[in-house]
Amino acid sequence: MLAHGQANSTCKCTIPIDNTFQVAPMTMGHGTDVGTPPLYENNNATTPAIALPFNFCFYGQSYDSVFISNNGIISFIKPIYSFIDSPATVPLGFDTIMVAPFWADANTLNNNGVVYYKITPTYMVVIWDSVKYAGIDVDGWNTFQLTITDGSDPILPNGDNVSFCYPFMQWACSDSSGGFSGYGGTPAFVGVNKGDGVTYAQISTFALPGNTYFGPFSPYNGVDWLDFQNFTFNTCVTGNTIAPVICNNRPECNTLYICPCDTTASEAALGAPDSSLVQTCDTINMTASFLCTVPGQTASLSYACTGALNITSVYTSTANIFDTITVQAIPAYGDTGEHTLSLIATDTVNHVQSTVTYTIDVTKDCLTAAIAEPKANMEFSVYPNPAGKTCTIQSSDISGYTSVRIYDIFGAQVLQLAIMTGKTDIDISGFAVGLYFVEVIKDGMPLSVKKLMIQR
């Protein structure tokens, strides 16, 4: 398998490229703009129709083949060769039926990226790996991933059938789309388009650098905001009724183990230990964030829980860009057992729902089970940034076994170092100039990730 650049450890939704993937055969295009083996480098080409061994449901229609475009989309009715180099924007009309993890003017000529794909009986994954854009002095590249399923494969939770995943993003516009140095031209589109001139869902458009994000329909969003983002949703709908999109949900992290609170004498009858053995009560927060991506869509937030569980507070916010719900629990001894918590966003007009599910295992045997509860993200800072020969990692939350890993832009680990104090200086004089990713690991669990630019 050819070399590729993926920060797998920093984007849990990313599926590693291995020998189950193959290069997408971009052999269809205008005139001579087609790819040839083995890399199929091109500017505006697509694959022929690729058969799916499953049915993909898209706005009530079932499709069993797709065209993969070099420009960050898959389409269904016909190949879509070119990016929109004009004022035209979504929703677009007939023959533009597409799923677009990042529709922009990519160019993979001259070893500037490869598009890979794999197909299983129930899902397909496409990865645009380290793709660049057409222009002068091109120095940025994007890696992003699309997953589509039959709606039942557990690779995506809760019956969703589409996922977008972004390990790293460094440009939005090509020179031929009116941009300069990767920005400022015709915006890239992230979302889905039904192809009827009316119906679509939009994560956003991107034309600017930086990590600012003002919502799905703002023209002023920075493409760096997409780094490490993950969106899942269901396109098997009728009408313009896609439910609120789930943001950054990691189902593999949603099984939580917690000790029950045993501080009250009344719980002795339930098997709580003697008050002389009382330990601090565990508190657990469970959060879900959703994005309303259909024009005019709003959401209401709620939760449901199986079995008895001591819910102490519920916080909801629908006033900002994201719709967020947080449920806090302090399980009592009588809550011992396994519980399922569903955090739900409901479209207030069409009443379609998206759900994030947590499994909470309240265990009596906390002193011997040695089950660690996943930690929340730990805030830390990296400075100076850009850095030269040294940088500093600083945090007020250094406890347990904490370490830092640094990865280069290709996802290769270049450093691992234990952090013993709240402020640690790191020698980076041997690193080449460029972009790196700094990841903090606490008690064996990857936590926050930040970018580090090295310049000299």
Residue 232 has pLDDT above 60, yes or no: yes
Residue 372 confidence (pLDDT) above 60: no
Q: Where in the chain is the domain with CATH 2.60.40.1930?
A: 381-454
Give the residue-averaged pLDDT of 154-162: 93
Which tokens is 420 given?
A: 């013993």
Lowest mean pLDDT among 28-32, 148-152, 264-268: 264-268
- Read off the pLDDT band of 290 (50, 70, 90): very high
CA dist., res. 140 & res. 181, Å (int): 8
pLDDT at 207 over 60: yes
Q: Mean per-residue pLDDT for 369-390? A: 67
Rg (CA), the chain: 24
Q: Write down the number of H helices and E strands in the chain.
A: 1, 28
Strand partners, 338: 361
pLDDT tens, position by position, 419-440? 877 888 999 988 988 778 888 8
Is a pLDDT exceeding 90 seen at residue 191? yes
- Spatial distance between the Cα atoms of 122 and 155, rounded to a whole number of angstroms: 9
* Residue 386, helix vs strand vs coil: coil
CATH 2.60.40.10 residue ranges for the chain? 251-369
- Residue 328 CA to residue 323 CA, distance in Å, equals 17
* pLDDT surpassing 90 at residue 407: no
pLDDT value at residue 400: 58
Closest C-alpha among 119, 110, 109, 194 to residue 150: 119
Q: What top-level class would CATH report for the domain 251-369?
A: mainly beta
Paired residues of 387 in beta bridges: 454
Task: Dump pLDDT digits (tens) for 1-33.
Answer: 233 333 333 346 889 999 999 999 999 998 888
DSSP 3-state of 287: strand
Please indicate whether residue 51 or residue 306 has the higher confidence score (pLDDT): 51
Checking if the pLDDT of 344 tops 50, the result is yes
**Among the listed ranges 57-71, 92-106, 179-193, 386-400, which one has the minimum average pLDDT value?**
386-400
Average confidence score pLDDT of the chain = 85
Reported CATH class of domain 381-454: mainly beta
Top-confidence residue, 230 or 400: 230
Q: Which are the contacts of 14, defined by CB distance < 8 A and separation ≥ 6?
A: 6, 7, 8, 145, 165, 167
Question: Which residue would you say has higher pLDDT here, 279 or 139?
Answer: 139
Query: Is residue 274 scored above 50 in pLDDT?
Result: no
H or E stretch at 368: helix 366-369
- pTM (2 decimals)? 0.78
Q: Euclidean distance between the first and final Cα of the chain, in Å?
A: 34
For the stretch 110-134, pLDDT in tens is 999 999 999 999 999 999 999 999 8
Q: Tokens 């879900």 label which residue?
A: 288
Give the lowest-confidence range in 54-68, 78-92, 102-116, 209-223: 78-92
